[in-house]
């Protein structure tokens, strides 16, 4: 057999160092980001650090794996996972950083800063910097949990690249492409001087939030790709649980917490009495595309 496609005997102890290395790196990146943000009182690097930490975590887990189990195969699920996460992280963090530089600020994060220079620290309305530290802690936890499939796959560097795993990576890649196309089309729409109040071009015809659909697809594919190699390597139950938590947490956050609800509420308040908007709501599904909406987007 090709040695690169043979499951190596891996003891449970290998998984903890890989996940621990990634988590520590993510914590360090977010700690630096929090410090800079608190000192400068600008949140422009929030997404740059928060999303960029995924790539740093994936690289750290790979380094921890090479120190524990030896050489890494370039054709393994671990290598594919690290590569995909690195591309996803670099693309999204760069896009969000550029966007906030153009727009000027993310109004959702304004609440974490003092209203003026006279507001007292700790006890003022913003409770600066306590609430800000809490936000960055949550962001670090998000990166550690959601990126877990890639971090844990590093513990099985020569796992078999099976057909189910390949299909799962294909789903992740498709999600990455959808998210990238959605962000690109939204940017082009935003740059138009006579644009409507909501984007309804390209993939935005098949879902009101196709970028979030792509993100859920990406992490669902990553989790599915990780499960088979981890189970074949007798991975501990906690590692399998974290892998499953990755897409579940992603979907919960974007669909029910910080993504879709806030954007939908903003649109509804702005266009509530508009007849075209009501038709838009009927034609374009809020999240998952339907056959009819996909057909409309392709026409």
- For 18, counting Cβ atoms within 10 Å of its Cβ (0-12 exposed, 13-18 middle, 19+ buried), the class is buried
Nearest-angstrom CA–CA distance, 163 and 139: 34
Asked if the model's pLDDT at residue 10 lies above 80, the reply is no
Nearest-angstrom CA–CA distance, 225 and 57: 18
- How far is the CA of 173 from the CAs of 101, 103, 168, 224, in angstroms? 28, 29, 9, 13
Assign 4 a pLDDT band (cuts: 50, 70, 90): very low
| H and E: helices and strands count for the chain | 11, 0
Q: What is the pLDDT of residue 104?
A: 86
Q: Which of 124-133, 268-277, 286-295 has the lowest mean pLDDT?
A: 268-277
Q: What is the pLDDT of residue 290?
A: 97
Higher per-residue pLDDT: 69 or 210: 210
- How far is the CA of 167 from the CAs of 82, 150, 216, 220, 226, in angstroms? 17, 16, 16, 12, 12
Asked if the model's pLDDT at residue 7 lies above 70, the reply is no
Counting residues of the chain whose pLDDT is more than 90, the rounded percentage is 80
| pLDDT digits 0-9 by tens, 218-236 | 999 999 999 999 999 999 9
| pLDDT digits 0-9 by tens, 20-33 | 999 999 999 999 99
């Amino acid at each position: 057999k090709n040695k690169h496609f043979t499951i190596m005997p891996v003891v449970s102890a290998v998984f903890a160092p890989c996940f621990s290395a990634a988590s520590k790196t993510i914590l360090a990146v977010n700690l630096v980001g929090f410090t800079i943000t608190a000192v400068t009182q600008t949140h422009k690097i929030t997404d740059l650090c928060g999303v960029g930490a995924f790539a740093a975590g994936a690289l750290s887990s790979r380094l921890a794996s090479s120190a524990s189990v030896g050489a890494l195969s370039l054709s393994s699920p671990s290598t594919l996972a690290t590569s995909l996460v690195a591309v996803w992280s670099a693309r999204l963090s760069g896009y969000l950083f550029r966007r906030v530089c153009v727009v000027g600020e993310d109004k959702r994060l304004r609440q974490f800063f003092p209203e003026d220079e006279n507001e007292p620290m700790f006890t003022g309305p913003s409770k600066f910097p306590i609430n800000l530290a809490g936000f960055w802690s949550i962001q670090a936890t998000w990166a550690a949990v959601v990126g877990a499939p890639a971090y844990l796959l590093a513990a099985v560097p020569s796992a078999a690249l099976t057909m189910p795993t390949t299909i799962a990576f294909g789903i992740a890649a498709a999600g990455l492409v959808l998210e990238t196309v959605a962000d690109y089309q939204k940017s082009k729409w935003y740059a138009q001087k006579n644009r409507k109040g909501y984007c309804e071009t390209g993939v935005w015809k098949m879902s009101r939030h196709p970028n979030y659909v792509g993100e859920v697809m990406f992490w669902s594919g990553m989790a599915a790709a990780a499960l088979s190699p981890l189970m074949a390597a007798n991975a501990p139950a906690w590692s399998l649980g974290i892998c499953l938590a990755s897409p579940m947490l992603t979907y919960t956050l974007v669909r029910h917490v910080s993504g879709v609800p806030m954007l939908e509420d903003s649109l509804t308040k702005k266009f509530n009495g508009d007849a075209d908007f009501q038709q838009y709501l009927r034609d374009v599904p809020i999240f998952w595309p339907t056959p009819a909406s996909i057909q409309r987007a392709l026409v």
